[in-house]
Amino acid sequence: MKRLTTILGIISAVLTMVGTIFKFLHWPGASIIITIGATTLAAYMWFYIFVQWKMVTSGMEKGFIALMGTAGIFAAIGFVFKMQHWPGANLIIKVFIILSVLLIVVSLLRVLGEKNEDLRYKYTQTFIWLLGGGVIILFPFIQNLLN
């Protein structure tokens, strides 16, 4: 299952990037490639949840994995809806943003609650990446608040 998940992740990333390049260049087939790539990415996130779920025992870790996987699914589906100009894209993306903010909070709680120094370092790195990604995602919203 781990191998399938890894292969699915690589395929989905490549297809989504190629489809996006096709879309920017207005080449034919872009919509199909993006849809297949992002749908595969959503499936990858689904498998990711189950693979990681079996590996951890802590309740906080399981919650973090479930939240991260669910946010990834909403991100992939929201991306497809937005690129295809389908209705409901903004709602899906808003759910993704809410899940991302919750993910940042849970990540911070995970850092603060960890006693093992090595794991705390690893969790801190994850928190910093999530916080950076959150700032990038929320930048337009933050910019509107400042103006």
User: If you write DSSP's letter for every residue of 90-121 in order, what string do you get?
Assistant: HHHHHHHHHHHHHHHHHHHHHHHH---HHHHH
**What are the backbone dihedrals phi and psi of residue 27, each rounded to the nearest 5 degrees, phi first?**
-85, 155
Q: How many helices (H) and strands (E) does the chain have?
A: 5, 0
- The two three-digit tokens of residue 126, written as one number: 């994850």
> Are 37 and 14 contacting, i.e. CB atoms less than 8 angstroms apart?
yes
Which helix (H) or strand (E) covers residue 57, if one does?
none
Mean pLDDT of 84-104: 90
pLDDT of 142 > 80? The answer is no
Q: Could you read off the pLDDT of 5-26 as tens digits, one per residue?
A: 888 889 988 998 898 899 889 9
pLDDT of 88 > 90? The answer is yes
- The two three-digit tokens of residue 91, written as one number: 């709602």
